[in-house]
Each structure stands twice: as structure tokens, then as C-alpha cells.
Amino acid sequence: MIRKVNLHEILLRGRDAEKAAKILSAVKSWLDENEIERVKIRQTASSDSGGDENDFKYELLDGNHIFHISEIRKICIDYRLRFLSSSMYKNGLPEEAVTKIHQLNKLHQNELKDFKIVAPSKAFRLENYDDPLLFAPIGNGYYYLIHKWGNDMSSLRKLLVLPVKNLLNFVMFCLFLSAFITWMIPESLLSREVPMASVIVFLFIFKSVIAVLMYGFFMGGRKFNDSMWNSRFYNY
């Protein structure tokens, strides 16, 4: 019969109580030091010094994680997202993000700061005018992507927010909606004695549609994607 081996017992052989206590003390000291660093990272993420760069070591950067502000602006406008300081993020950074910041701090021998987050408006504590990506500024308009968390964004979001991307899209949407409503009206209801009756009805419907939608949109404190992507205010 071949005797089974307990690897845990083998590891414990030759270890006395004093040695075990020293090991436990050393681990506790390391964990305490690590927790202090993590608390410091969270405090840094919850504040904003107004800076726009960090001291990265160029040779250690991953090119696939570097994005220019113009690229970030485009994705925010396309998907109606905000690009704001992490100090305004409601739920705080997840543990995985803190870990990655801690690793980058050690790798670049620096304390990263002035983090930015890309997320929907509802994820931030927005000020009154009267699913996320965590970035750290490199400088000269470039940002380094540190961590992504939450669920992947629905591909339909880009389509759903397309009408409020900008003023042109809004007007085109109103035109399309007006044309669709006009098309739905039976021809029997249009007077044959009035020249271009369908065009007149279309223009009347368009005027009504754009008036109602603009009133509801702007009175609700909404703005187009291209003017609110980096605004700190919920009604701007």
C-alpha cells in the first residue's frame, strides 16, 4: 500500500511555535502597511487637486491603455457619458481598481493622482448649475486607462442617444418622426382640393413635434451630448 502524503503537514515539519508567531507577525505587519497604502489611494481618488499630469515611466507604459482627450470626448458624446474627476464618483473605487493603482504606484515609483472616470451621469454626484473607466492624466491631453469595471455597455445605447447627440441629430430625428406620422395618416383624411396637402400636414406636424420635444428636453434641464460630456452640473 502506498501511503498518501499530506503536503500541509510536510510544510509544518520543523516549525516551532515561536517561528510560527514570527511569521504571523511579519504577515500582519505587511498587511497593515498594504492597508495604509490602500486607504491613502482611496483618499487621493476622493479628492481633486486640479492637476492634469502624473510622472509615468515611459518605457513601462502600455500603448493600448493610452488615449487622447479627443478619443475620450468622442466616446462620451456617442454614448452620452461624462468624463469627470473620481472625487465626484458616487460609489468609490472597487478593490480591483485600488489594487491596480497600488501596482502602478510601485511600478512607476510615484503616487498617481487626479484620476478621471468615464461613466453615465447617474454614477456621479453632479452639482446644480445655480457601468466606468478609470484614467490617470499623463499630460498634454493624454490619459492612461487604469481599470474598467461593471458590466459591458449595451450596443443599443449609442443608437438610443443618437437623437440628442447634437442639434443636427435632434432636428433630423424630428424630421424623421414627423415624416413617419404623416405617412401613417390615411389619404382619405387629406383634402384632395388642397394642393400639396400632405406637405402642409407634414410641416404642421414637424412644427408641433419639434416644439413639444424641445420644450420637454430643455425644460427638463437636458443638454446635447457634445455640450455635457465633461460638465460637473446635472442641468448643463
How does pLDDT run across 194-217, given as a tens digit for each residue?
567 778 888 889 999 989 988 888
Residue 192: the pLDDT is 63
Read off the pLDDT band of 175 (50, 70, 90). very high
How does pLDDT run across 94-103, given as a tens digit for each residue?
888 988 999 8
Bridge partners, 35 (sequence order): none
**Rounded Cα gap, residues 215 and 66, in angstroms:** 40
Dmax (CA) for the chain in angstroms is: 107
Structural contact between residues 182 and 205, judged by C-beta atoms closer than 8 angstroms: yes
Residue 27 pLDDT greater than 80, yes or no: no
Read off the pLDDT band of 156 (50, 70, 90). confident
pTM (predicted TM-score): 0.67
Residue 92: the pLDDT is 81
Residue 130 pLDDT greater than 50, yes or no: no
Residue 23 pLDDT greater than 80, yes or no: no
Residue 10: the pLDDT is 63
**Rounded Cα gap, residues 139 and 112, in angstroms:** 12
How does pLDDT run across 82-122, given as a tens digit for each residue?
888 888 888 788 888 988 999 899 899 989 999 999 888 88
**Rounded Cα gap, residues 177 and 183, in angstroms:** 10
Could you tell me which residue, 79 or 223, shows the higher pLDDT? 79
Residue 87: the pLDDT is 87
Which amino acid belongs to residue 90? Answer: K
**Rounded Cα gap, residues 232 and 51, in angstroms:** 16
3-state SS assignment for residue 52:
coil
In the chain, what percentage of residues exceed pLDDT 90?
Answer: 14
How does pLDDT run across 31-63, given as a tens digit for each residue?
667 788 888 888 888 888 778 889 899 898 888
What mean pLDDT, rounded, does the chain reach? 81
Residue 150 pLDDT greater than 90, yes or no: no
**Rounded Cα gap, residues 19 and 70, in angstroms:** 57
Structural contact between residues 54 and 136, judged by C-beta atoms closer than 8 angstroms: yes
Residue 20: the pLDDT is 67
Supply angle C-alpha 143, 38, 20, rounded to 5. Answer: 140
Residue 138 pLDDT greater than 60, yes or no: yes
Residue 26 pLDDT greater than 80, yes or no: no
> Other CB atoms closer than 10 Å to residue 225's CB: what's the count?
20
Could you tell me which residue, 130 or 127, shows the higher pLDDT? 127
Grid coordinates representing 46 are 476622493
Q: What is the arithmetic mean of pLDDT over 11-32?
A: 69
